[in-house]
Chains A and B, each alone.
Chain A
Amino acid sequence: MRDFATLFTTLDQTTKTTSKVAALRAFFEAASDSDKLWCIALFSGRRPKRAVTTTLLREWAAELAGIPLWLFEECYPIVGDLAETIALVLPPARQHDDQPLTHWIKTVQSIAPQEEAARKKIILDAWDRLNTTERFLFNKLLTGGFRVGVSQKLVTRALAQCTDQDEAALTHKLMGSWTPDSITFDQLVLQDDPEADLSKPYPFYLAHGVDDIDQLGPVSNWCAELKWDGIRGQLIKRGGAHHLWSRGEELMTDRFPEFAQLRDFLPDGTVIDGEVLAFQDGVPLSFNVLQKRIGRKTVPKKMLIEAPVILQAYDLLEWHGTDIREKPLSERRHLLASLIENLPTDLPIALSKQVPATSWDTLAEARETAREVNAEGLMLKRLSSPYLAGRKKGDWWKWKVDPLTIDAVMIYAQAGHGRRATLFTDYTFAVKSGNELVPFTKAYSGLTDAEFKQITSWVKKNTLQRFGPVRQVTPQHVFEIAFEGIQASPRHKSGIALRFPRMLRWRQDKPLDEINTLEDLQEMLRQFG
């Protein structure tokens, strides 16, 4: 695993894209097909099944390190990563043999069916053969959640360079439901037939937020539609079967059985890009309703009635088996519209309505009022645009409505994970209710590293009480919290739950007695909930 550890270390040590790609290329050029395949799999979130609970791993690591479990548990939040904590506390390995990545993955896969004692023996033996970085990687394989500072995009770029093929075409090949156990490197990367896998989705085209509407030119070049707050999805009908993919490349077909009806009406070789939304009586329901469906692998009848979903169709990517992503959006929309027009109206699919783009002013107005129809703002798409792969600037833009905001005081702080393990970055905020402070949300993002650093040193000096890793702090610092939506929530003390809360600004100018009240939040709930 030394070569994979070297790759990981290099990726971890550099922030430069070119160095990352060079390191990946060096690995791809030297590694075996099987190691290459696993490397691609790991960097795209495909990992061996978790073979052992983290509880057992903690116990075994503490035992081998000769420390009590409580001491291990004290170290974990300071390191901020379980795999790393284990790698650091263990005594030095007594032997070292350089087995390839695939060997250690096979080891992890072999563990699951074993008895606990046998699993322990395998893992302890592995720990005793690996150096600290290799152990860390091995633990990541055991615990899942393999994340390094390299995007799938860079992995694809390096691989495209090594195998001398087009990056977008390779991106397409690497999508879908393959695992290293179900395919070879040759089949996945080198063979030129992505259609061999009928369930394979196209890479999603993603938009950036727009900074300056004035840059976009004549409004007549643009298609505007409401930006829905659901789950972006790709519906595929090929070979008589249908598949629904999320943007995170997760297959969601079974979670939304309503779409099975479409099988009988969509022709083979149809791929539609759209948004899965909870929808009733012609209006979208809030994201909370949809949320109930997301976590479930199967859906009880009651839920199908309470939280029915539809696909708001945005785009047509494949038509009668032909990839039409190169055609202009206007043409694709036209095909999509005529396809949906000819379907029975009671099917769970609708053409996403366009907002008439008569002038930028009318669009601005539509954006302002988007929240009233449970939309997040507008999507602007150039009518002549092809359907690209990945997040690209120029032709597609998100024009989101301004977030709701509220001023609140920080009352608890907790250290972050990973890169942020040394900083207090996770805060709980409260609003006033009479003389009391009522916690209503947590937020983790929105401040600069310098601000987090400043607050961290303040938290260390102003801790009132500790509850495990959580510090109760003097209520003093006021923040403007931005959020996208507000919902009633009986599970929370405040009675409300926010969508996408984050810190917009640290209001060092605001004293504690000027923060918002619980009544203010309740008023927002009445208005926007």
Chain B
Amino acid sequence: MSNVLTFTDKGIYCPAGDFYIDPWGRVERALITHGHSDHARWGMGSYLATKAAAPVMQHRLGDVSIDTVNYAETVQIGDARVSFHPAGHVPGSAQIRVEVAGEVWVASGDYKTTNDGFSEPFEPVRCHAFITESTFGLPIFKWQPQQVVADQINTWWTANRAEGKASILGAYALGKAQRLMSCVDASIGPILTHASIENTNDILRAQGLHLPDTVRVTAETGLKKYPSALVICPPSAFGPWSKKFGPQSQAFASGWMALRGVKRRRAAERGFIISDHADWTELNSAIAETGAERIFVTHGYTSVFTKWLRDQGYDAHVVSTDYGGDEADDSDAPQQDTQDAGAAV
């Protein structure tokens, strides 16, 4: 049986439709699962993404032309029938379903099956072959319900306010930051944002997503007006930028905070365990629900997760890709390979 998708040094390729999915090499035609920079890169001849993903991509990639589709809308490209389905990772994120002569493959990009109340909820797609990430593909990663984490953040923020401290929360600018601001209790106090996050907020609000009121921090912002605020910024802004908020407690929100070692190395006072990637349980249930027999494992704990899937009776393979890096800080990931040595199939 011929392969609907193949794995090349430029990315995931569909010979029947002559297009690539989330390529990292320059190609003529790119189908994009979501706007994170390791999946949506500059320099492609053309782009196709969901309507909800396009505005952020446009902002990040600049002057490129992006064609859009609705979720579940079928597009014929060459001999391939293509459709996009919610991946639950960030707003607009999609799994890309490709069907050629009755054979169905799904490239899921990054995904989580938990409904975060913000991104379009993940929908399982039946297929013969499923391409999955494995960022948190070990049984040590099991997330708490979102509300539990939201309560932890609320408690932390409230306690900091009582002590006259600002609450500085480090989170990735697209997705995680907005998810956090929509799940915390905005009545506790003002929410301030770093420019990189507020730029994304503007775009998401413009496309109709609801976010709580936030204040963009600029050089002119009178910080005295917003005592004991929740300040959401990318982790890279910790340091001189965050210092100006005065007495403060610092925290990171990331799946890696599940590991005490990472938390201690980060030297943040608090680590909130929340991720836009599937945990161990979600990965396994998502894969089972596809009904697929062939599984291709990309970025993350690829070799261990693949071995586990083989133990479970799947025809599983490691695939070497250039993905990975959106989870707050990729260098937090213990012993994942940047370039996995496993054989590409």
Interface residues of A (CB under 8 A from B): 12-15, 65, 67-68, 70-72, 74-75, 77-81, 84-85, 88-89, 136, 149, 415, 417-423, 449, 453, 456-457, 460-461, 463, 466
Residues in A neighbouring B260, C-beta threshold 8 A: 12, 79, 81, 84, 136, 418
Against A, the Cβ 8 Å flags (1 = close, 0 = not) of B242-262 are 000000000000001011111
**Top-4 shortest CB links A-B:** A421-B261, A88-B140, A422-B334, A419-B264
Q: Complex: how many Å from CA A100 to CA B287?
A: 42
Closest CB of chain B to A309's CB: distance in Å?
Answer: 39
Taking CB atoms, residues of chain A closer than 8 Å to B339 are 460-461
- Interchain CB contact under 8 A, B264 and A78: no
Q: Do A453 and B341 touch (CB < 8 A)?
A: no
Q: A88 and B258 in contact (CB under 8 A), knowing A74-B138, A415-B335?
A: yes
Cα A456 to Cα B335 with chains together (Å): 9
B271: nearest chain-A partner, CB-CB: A13
Q: How far is the CA of A89 from the CA of B142 in the complex (A)?
A: 8
- B335 surroundings in chain A (CB, below 8 A): 77-78, 415, 422
Among candidates B139, B262, B265, B269, residue contacting A13 with C-beta atoms closer than 8 Å: B269
Interfacial chain B residues near A71, Cβ < 8 Å: 138-139, 304, 307-308
Q: In the assembled complex, how far is the CB of residue A405 from the closest CB belonging to chain B, in whole angstroms?
A: 28
* A298, B259: Cα distance in complex, Å: 42
Tell me the residues in window 260-283 of chain B with beta carbons closer than 8 Å to chain A beta carbons.
260-265, 267, 269-270
Cα A463 to Cα B140 with chains together (Å): 25
> In the complex, what residues of B have CB within 8 A of residue A77's CB?
335
Check if B63 is an interface residue, CB within 8 A of chain A.
no
With beta carbons under 8 angstroms apart, the residue of B258, B265, B269, B338 that contacts A449 is B265
Q: Are A421 and B259 in contact (CB under 8 A)?
A: yes
Chain B residues in 8 Å Cβ range of A74:
138, 304
Contacts of A417 in B (CB 8 A): 261
B332 within 8 A of A: yes
Instruction: Please determine whether B331 and A80 come into contact, CB atoms closer than 8 angstroms.
Output: no
Chain A's nearest CB lies how many Å from the CB of B169? 15
**In the complex, chain A residues whose CB is within 8 Å of the CB of B140:** 75, 78-79, 85, 88-89
B185 beta carbon closer than 8 Å to chain A: no
Contact yes or no, B338 A460, CB < 8 A: yes
Cα separation A449 to B331 with both chains bound (whole Å): 12
What are 5 sample pairs from A and B whose C-beta atoms fall under 8 A apart?
A78-B138, A136-B260, A421-B262, A460-B339, A461-B339
B262 touches A422 (CB 8 A): yes
Enumerate chain B residues within 8 angstroms of A136, measured Cβ to Cβ. 260
Kindly report which residue of chain B lies nearest to residue A149, judged by CB atoms.
B264
CB closest chain-B residue, reference A76: B140
In the complex, which of the residues A77, A456, A460 has the most CB atoms of chain B within 10 Å of its own CB atom?
A460
Once A75-B140, A79-B261, A85-B140 are accepted as A-B contacts, the answer to whether A421 and B338 lie under 8 Å apart by CB is: no
State A136–B258 Cα separation when bound (angstroms): 13
Query: Which A residue sits closest to B259, measured CB to CB?
Result: A79
Residues of B within 8 A of A456 (CB): 331
Interface check B168, CB cutoff 8 A: no
Least CB distance, B311 to chain A, in whole angstroms? 7
Chain B residues with CB under 8 A of A422: 256, 259, 261-262, 265, 331-335
Write out the residue numbers on chain B whose beta carbons fall within 8 Å of the beta carbon of A65: 139
Docked CA distance A481–B141 (Å): 38
B261: chain A residues within 8 A (beta carbon):
79-81, 417-422
Contact of A78 with B334 at beta-carbon distance under 8 Å, contacts A65-B139, A88-B140 already known: yes
Shortest CB-to-CB span from B226 to chain A, Å, is: 24
B337 interface residue per 8 A CB criterion = yes
Which of B138, B140, B265, B337 has most chain A Cβ within 10 Å?
Answer: B140
B337 touches A460 (CB 8 A): yes
Q: Kindly list chain B residues whose C-beta atoms are within 8 Å of the C-beta of A460.
A: 336-339
Closest to B341 in A: A463
A13 to B270, CA, bound (A): 6
14 further A-B pairs in the complex, CB-CB below 8 A; given A70-B307, A419-B264: A67-B139, A71-B139, A71-B304, A71-B307, A78-B140, A79-B261, A421-B259, A422-B265, A449-B265, A460-B336, A460-B337, A460-B338, A463-B337, A463-B341
List the B side residues contacting A418 at CB < 8 Å. Answer: 260-261, 264
